[in-house]
Amino acid sequence: MRVVHDFIAESLKRREIDNSLRSLRTESGLIDFCSNDYLGFARSAELKELFKHELEKYPGYQLGASGSRLITGNSQFSESLEARISQYHHAEASLLFNSGYDANVGFFSCIPQRGDTIICDEYIHASIIDGVRLSHATRFVFRHNDLTSLEEKLRASRGRIFIAVESVYSMDGDEAPLKGICDLAEKFGAAVIVDEAHAVGMFGDRGRGITDQLGLNDRVFARVVTFGKALGVHGAAVLGSAELRTYLINFSRSFIYTTAAPFLNHLGVKVAYDFLNAHDHQSELYKRIDLFHSHIRKDLGLIPSRSGIQALLVPGNSRVKDMALLIQTSGFDVRPILTPTVPAGSERLRICLHNHNAMAEIASLCEIINSNL
Ligand SMILES: Cc1ncc(COP(=O)(O)O)c(C=O)c1O
């Protein structure tokens, strides 16, 4: 056992030396510029009221799902929620997963087989990397958003080919060139999978995402939508054909071997979608993004982004941590993104803009950054 203790102690020591040791924090009480609650749904009093009102219709609800979807965890409610989600996103079918992490792991570990190739953007989310690792397919990585690099990898690919991209990248806030990716995919007979975790709620008609906005729903093989970001609740769904849904029910281990999410969770997702559909939440967010762009100094290392994620490069773990601390001391909760979450040299402040950020708060945040960077 000693050797295991030694390994753990050394690994933590190395993180301390790199200034990259992670630790948990409770509520900071600072102004939120770091959560993924872009539209303010997680804290919306109106949404909470809608939830309470809706809950009254189900006095006999069960607290826990009591089993996996394939045993006792399925219900008419979860199936009608899936129908509602696929209809909302203009997909033939959808399948709920307990989180976006589970959805990506479950998808990529069971569809690509030995001899197949999965090509990922170099900035693809860890959940997709982990799913790919569990599959027996070959993984290629193409340079971020670079269609020439993607084409090179496509030429070298064997078997069935899968291309994994995010419509909005979680750490950079920029968007994948989805049309060009679909054109290339069609040329090589590849299937495109788009993770829309950060696009849902933020882009497209009533937040339907970028694939839908660009009219590409029928040109991609599957989409992953998550509920823990702009929708303010929790969970995820894979959108695609009815056949894909049946395949996932049969082969996706993160779907099969886990207790289904509880009714309260699914009710939250339903109410969040109703709320998303009921108002134009996006215009308020765009106003805030425009204000941020007009106030932030142009000579700083801001990664171009139209989204609520604005990444400001401050290379070096120590430097970016110090900068975040300085901003936090002024009352704004901005978090540093360190190596190894991002490649060394691209450490950044990840500034998330939200509908609950007052315009004056955004202007003050920019002032602090402008005068200290
Ligand atoms: C692009 C992307 N995909 C998937 C996930 C995982 O989603 P969830 O938080 O629902 O597990 C995240 C969350 O960090 C993400 O940023």
Average pLDDT, the chain: 97
Residue ranges around ligand 1 (CB below 6 Å): 99-101, 104, 125, 127, 166, 170, 195, 197-198, 226, 228, 236
CATH number of the domain where residue 40 is located = 3.90.1150.10
**Boundary-marking domain end, from 278, 309, 332:** 278
Q: Say whether both 289 and 169 belong to one domain.
A: no
Q: Say whether both 213 and 341 belong to one domain.
A: no
In a domain, 229, yes or no: yes
Paired with 224 in beta bridges are 195, 238
Residue nearest to atom 9 of ligand 1 (CA): 100
Choose the residue to mutate in 123, 195, 210, 226 for probing ligand 1, maximizing ligand atoms within 8 Å of C-beta. Answer: 226
In a domain, 214, yes or no: yes
**Boundary-marking domain end, from 246, 262, 278:** 278
Q: Say whether both 332 and 213 belong to one domain.
A: no
pLDDT in tens, 153-189: 999 999 999 999 999 999 999 999 999 999 999 999 9
CATH number of the domain where residue 118 is located = 3.40.640.10
Which ligand 1 atom lies nearest to the CA of residue 168?
1
How confident is the model at residue 349, as a pLDDT? 97
Which ligand 1 atom lies nearest to the CA of residue 228?
10
Q: Fill in the DSSP letter of residue 66.
A: -
pLDDT at 373 > cutoff 90? no
Q: Say whether both 168 and 267 belong to one domain.
A: yes
In a domain, 10, yes or no: no
Q: In what order do the strands lie in the sheet with 191-195?
A: 93-97, 236-240, 222-226, 191-195, 161-166, 117-121, 138-142
Q: Say whether both 288 and 241 belong to one domain.
A: no
Distance of CA 26 to the CA centre of its chain: 22
Which ligand 1 atom lies nearest to the CA of residue 127?
4
**Boundary-marking domain end, from 259, 278, 297:** 278
CA of 322: how far to CAs of 18, 154, 219, 329, in Å? 14, 42, 45, 11
pLDDT in tens, 126-137: 999 999 999 999
In a domain, 11, yes or no: no
In a domain, 216, yes or no: yes
Q: Say whether both 342 and 360 belong to one domain.
A: yes
In a domain, 78, yes or no: yes
Give the CA dihedral 109, 113, 117, 120, nearest 10 degrees. Answer: -10
Q: Say whether both 134 and 259 belong to one domain.
A: yes
Residue nearest to atom 4 of ligand 1 (CA): 100
Count of domains forming the chain: 2
pLDDT in tens, 60-101: 999 999 999 999 999 999 999 999 999 999 999 999 999 999
In a domain, 5, yes or no: no
Q: Say whether both 270 and 305 belong to one domain.
A: no
CA of 265: how far to CAs of 51, 88, 102, 171, in Å? 11, 19, 16, 27
How confident is the model at residue 39, as a pLDDT? 98
Residue nearest to atom 7 of ligand 1 (CA): 100
Q: Say whether both 197 and 267 belong to one domain.
A: yes
Cα 134 to ligand 1 centre (Å): 18
Encoded tokens for 340: 């190894």
pLDDT at 280 > cutoff 90? yes
Cα 4 to ligand 1 centre (Å): 31
What is the residue-wise DSSP string for 80-91?
HHHHHHHHHTT-
Cα 96 to ligand 1 centre (Å): 14
Yes or no: say if 350 and 321 are a contact pair by the CB < 8 Å rule. Answer: no
Q: Say whether both 291 and 272 belong to one domain.
A: no
Cα 121 to ligand 1 centre (Å): 15
Q: Say whether both 319 and 247 belong to one domain.
A: no
Domain residues for 89?
63-278
Mean pLDDT of 50-56: 98
CA of 282: how far to CAs of 6, 86, 205, 271, 277, in Å? 50, 21, 9, 18, 11
Q: Say whether both 38 and 115 belong to one domain.
A: no
Choose the residue to mutate in 127, 130, 174, 239 for probing ligand 1, maximizing ligand atoms within 8 Å of C-beta. Answer: 127
How far, in Å, CA of 302 to CA of 317, rounded?
17
In a domain, 226, yes or no: yes
pLDDT in tens, 106-125: 999 999 999 999 999 999 99
How far, in Å, CA of 106 to CA of 96, rounded?
11
CA geometry: angle 126, 354, 277, nearest 5 deg: 90
CA geometry: angle 238, 117, 158, nearest 5 deg: 140
Cα 60 to ligand 1 centre (Å): 32
Cα 100 to ligand 1 centre (Å): 5
